[in-house]
Homo-oligomer: A and B are copies of this chain.
Amino acid sequence: MHPADAEPIAHYADMFAAMGTESRLRIMQLLLSAHPEGLVVGEIQAQLGLSASNLSHHLDKLKNEELVAVQREGTFLRCRANTAALQRLLAFLYAECCQRSCAVSPKSILKPAS
Contacts and interface: CB of A to CB of B under 8 A. Distances in A.
A96 B35 CA distance: 11
A14 interface: yes
Interface in A71-114: 81, 83-84, 86-98, 100-105, 108-114
B26 A9 contact: yes
Nearest to A113: B88
Interface of A is mostly: helix
Nearest to A83: B103
23 contacts: A9-B25, A13-B25, A14-B20, A17-B17, A17-B21, A29-B100, A32-B96, A32-B103, A33-B100, A35-B102, A83-B104, A86-B103, A87-B97, A87-B104, A87-B105, A87-B109, A88-B113, A90-B90, A90-B93, A90-B104, A91-B108, A91-B110, A95-B112
Given A9-B22, A35-B102, A89-B93, 11 more contacts: A10-B22, A16-B17, A17-B17, A17-B21, A19-B20, A33-B100, A35-B101, A83-B104, A87-B113, A91-B110, A91-B111
